[in-house]
Structure 1
Amino acid sequence: MTHPELMISNNILHEFKTCTQLQYNGYLKVKSTKGHQWTFFYRLGRIVWAAGGSHPFRRWRRNMAQYCPQVDIDKLNLRGEDLETNHWDYRILEILYKRQKIQRDQIHAFVENTIAELLFDLAQQTNFVSASCDRSQEVILETPMSFTSANVSMKQMQDSWKIWSEAGLANFSPDLAPVLRKPEQLQQQVSESVYKNFVNLINGQYTLRDLAAKMKQSIVPVTRSLLPYILKGIIELVEVPDLPLLVTAVQKSPASSQVNTSNAPLVACVDDSPLICNMLEEIIVANGLRFIKIQDAIQALPTLIQDKPDLIFLDLIMPVANGYEICTQLRRISAFSNTPVIILTGNDGLLDRVRAKVVGATDFMTKPVVSDKVMSVVRKYLPVKTQPQLKRRLDQSHLKVCH
């Protein structure tokens, strides 16, 4: 991995070249021995789209923010079943284009960056050695909106890999998220303003790619600036889950709208991520329970004491106060001595589980937040009977994009 020239080898590159020479129509699927999978869609020998990788939803969100900033992702009305297709992301772009929400040049930039990211990941994770290739002549994208030269993409991938490797980053995936592990040591080495920026951004919620996009900088200098702290153990790079898009439930039927939830158990979520709070709210409310969200860790205790929820989801990593600290303080209050506290985290580590038990957490739930997992935990600790009509709202969603 430390010698970029070794990347130019064997069967995968040959497959890409063959598809170009044959003016191939269909798709090429590449799968590594570790189960990673990528799909490259072809039209007339050119790559018109790519899918797969570790974080398809994060990638889509990031590219939308960068290339289509006029679109408010939170106001998109998406059908759940269409998010299950291998080109759901491209399909949404098509819908937005037909409704004149985005322009063709935006789509071209979006497509180019998506293909570049996935080719880079393919190179890093397979070293172009341990992978299988399968071609299918099934044409999925009949009228693609952007055409990319595969030869140009291969050259760009090799160049970007060389820059990444020569910067000393060959062993780090850009899909890892930095977490501040030794804040005291960092505070001694940087200014107060730089320290505050680290605390706000280096919290395990943003991958290296996410951080670069938020900072509007290239990923190489951003990651390179973190490298000294990573090597000293002040910052750790960890794997994080993807961030699925919200699926809007079908409107309530008259029968379900009459369900009285005024006496239903109250569930609280303490998490600085609006996305996580909104996803939990949709799941909890759709199952007939009441819900409150607290995104400011400083306000967590006062709000919880005031509302006295029956169950609390508590994010592990937040600015100012983490989940361990808040849980410790809660257990010192008699009113919360027996309240179920569920630690939310993107890192399912044994050390975190042990520490969560030590501070009095009831249970541990790893992200991503999905309905079955959430309600399984809720039912385990609360006397909940799911309303059938309400449950169906999550299962019968339709894919469309709001005007």
Structure 2
Amino acid sequence: MQGNLNEIDICSILQLISLGQRTGQLWVEAHSSYQSHKLSPEDGIKHRPGGESKPQSWFVFFLNGQIVYCQAGESSLSRIDDYLRHYRVEQRLNKTQLATLESMNSPEYGYIWSLLEQNIITPKVARNIIHGLVHETLFDLLSLHQGSFIFDLGAALVPQLTNLEITVLVTKITKQVQEWKQLYPHIQSPEQLLVLADTTRLNDALLASTVNKLQHWADGKTTLRQLARYLNRDILTVAKAIYPYVQQGWLQLVYSVASGANNQPPNWQQIDQHKGRVVCIEDAIAICEIVESILKPQGYEAISITKPLEALSLVFQLKPDLILCDIAMPELDGYEICSMLRHSTAFRLVPIIMLTGKEGFIDRVRARMVGATDYLTKPFADTELLMLVEKYINIDSAVGI
């Protein structure tokens, strides 16, 4: 069984496996997902033409229609180490023991069993870790809107420590995914990092013990998902707990912009050599490349964001002088992005130019209502884009079409 998620969703696939009492493994791959995980320079922000997001993948292992284990992509064993931190397990496998895991079908699963066999963890702890990993993987999968899948019949992982009934899990986690979406835009992804934004107000409003806990976790290095593992809580529970602080602006959630080994990001703090910074929020890579090819030779710094769900968090980090924003985008359209930005003091006066393939009075009125500065119809000529950018980027304020 194989296909695309726009033809059959994850929930239906899991139900078919359950009803058929199948044994084997499900492989799912997607280039983007609802919660859209760690952001790298070659992912949501495109720094070079033709850059594509690295696909994410997941494996779900079944025995007679029940889930035995779930693994996220290429295992680094770090997920399990995060759980071990909760249980205060200091001992780990040595290099020789870890090397033997590489040939296994699921190194993560082998890691858990090796820890169990050497009495480093108890069967109860091992089952709890497996339940946590299955839960977080299904949370990601049930959030997917597009991708591909392959289900292969085959032997189950051995030995089995626990089997989880699919229907109960899917019902519970589907409800959590729906509640998670209600936290947007304040909380967008389990892979966002926690950062303290207003320590003074935190100290004024909260008990010292609560502030100390927040300071401990909001170090700019710990993701929401890691925090959930450390606390042995599901991601929704953790997100709801910090939501009021994020909503008040006391905590911030940001995406990692750590560079890869072969793809260094630009230094966003050094823009003296540029006329100004322009951020283009556009899901079509071809349009992003056109914008960059027009603006960069003229001395502007042009940065493209191809994932609209990540745009709000990223523009706060990038602090652009002007924003180009497509109207027709999946999951979050340009009108919604513009409206959300205008509700922030930081972006009340930043010029926002809407890009669209449609030309009409209604679109212009809608753009005006959400606070857009101007409007540019695609396809556009080089001179049209340059005239608008030059018109707005060097003035203090220009809101109104």
Could you tell me which residue of structure 1 aligns to residue 112 of structure 2? 93
Cα deviation, 1:162-184, whole Å, max 9, x if unaligned, reads 34345567952223221124445
Partner of 1:121: 140
Structure 1 unmatched runs, 5+: 1-6, 242-315, 317-342, 356-403
Mapped to 1, the partners of 2:233 and 2:150 lie a distance apart of 36
- Residue 63 in 1 paired to residue 83 in 2? yes
Match of 2:31 in 1: 33
3-state SS in 2 of match to 1:49: strand
1:259-317 deviation line (CA, Å, top 9, x unaligned): xxxxxxxxxxxxxxxxxxxxxxxxxxxxxxxxxxxxxxxxxxxxxxxxxxxxxxxxx9x
Partner residue in 1 for 2:70: 50
Stretches of structure 2 that go unaligned for 5 or more consecutive residues are 33-54, 272-401
Distance 1:349 1:237, change over 3 A: farther
- Post-superposition CA distance 1:366-402 (Å, at most 9, x none): xxxxxxxxxxxxxxxxxxxxxxxxxxxxxxxxxxxxx
Q: Structure 1 residues 86, 176: CA separation in 2 closer, same or farther (over 3 Å shift)?
A: farther
Whether contact under 8 Å (2:193, 2:221) holds in the other structure is yes
Q: Distance in 1 between matches of 2:250 and 2:195?
A: 9
Indicate whether 1:137 and 2:176 are aligned.
no
Query: What does 1:315-334 correspond to in 2, within 5 Å?
Result: none
Q: Secondary structure at the match of 1:205?
A: strand
Residue of structure 1 equivalent to 2:13: 15
1:25 Cα offset (Å) = 1.8
1:39 Cα offset (Å): 0.5
User: If the length of structure 1 is used for normalisation, what is the TM-score?
Assistant: 0.50
- Residue aligning to 2:124: 105
Query: Which of 176, 186, 190 is the matching residue for 1:160?
Result: 176
C-alpha change, 1:65 and 1:53, in structure 2 (3 Å) is same
Distance 1:212 1:161 in 2: 15
1:350 deviates by 4.3
Distance of aligned partners of 1:234 and 1:350 in 2 relative to their CA distance in 1, 3 Å threshold? farther
How far the C-alpha of 1:24 sits from its partner, in A, is 1.5
2: CA distance, partners of 1:236 / 1:220: 17
The equivalent residue for 1:150 is: 166
1:82 alignment counterpart: 101
Q: What is the distance in 2 between the residues matched to 1:54 and 1:161? A: 24
2:192 to 166, 169, 176: 176
1:72 to 2:90 alignment? yes
Q: Please give the secondary structure, in 1, of the residue aligned with 2:142.
A: helix
SS in structure 2 opposite 1:173?
coil
The separation in 2 between residues aligned to 1:201 and 1:22, in whole angstroms, is: 44
Amino-acid identity (%): 19
Contact 1:51 1:86 in 2 (8 A): no
Of the structure 1 ranges 114-123 and 195-204, higher mean CA displacement relative to structure 2 is found in 195-204
Aligned AA (2:163):
F
- Tell me: CA distance 1:199–1:11, structure 2 relative to 1, closer, same or farther (3 Å): closer
- The residue matched to 1:141 in structure 2 has which SS? coil
Q: Deviations over 1:316-368 (max 9, x none)?
A: 9xxxxxxxxxxxxxxxxxxxxxxxxxx999xx76456649xxxxxxxxxxxxx
Q: How many corresponding residue pairs?
A: 243
Please give the secondary structure, in 2, of the residue aligned with 1:82.
Answer: coil
Q: 1:218-237, aligned counterparts within 5 Å?
A: 219-231=235-247, 233-237=249-253
Larger CA deviation: 87-96 vs 225-234: 225-234
Q: How does 1:176-215 map to 2 (within 5 A)?
A: 176-184=192-200, 186-187=202-203, 189-190=205-206, 192-215=208-231
Distance 1:176 1:54 in 2: 20
- Alpha-carbon displacement from aligned partner over 1:118-162 (angstroms, at most 9, x marks no partner): 0001122x1xx3121101224351432221112222122113223
Whether the 8 Å contact between 1:36 and 1:53 is mirrored in structure 2 is yes
TM-score normalised by the chain length of structure 2: 0.50
Over 3 Å counting, the alpha-carbon distance change for 1:92 and 1:165 in structure 2 is same
Decide whether the 8 Å contact of 1:167 with 1:220 is kept in 2. no
**Alpha-carbon distance in structure 2 between the residues aligned to 1:192 and 1:170:** 24
What secondary structure does 1:206 align onto? strand
Distance 1:180-1:155 versus aligned 2 partners, 3 A rule? same
**Is this contact kept in 1: 2:186–2:247, CA < 8 A?**
no
Distance change (3 Å), C-alpha of 1:216 and 1:146: closer
Going from structure 1 to structure 2, the CA distance change for 1:222 and 1:214 (only over 3 Å counts) comes to same
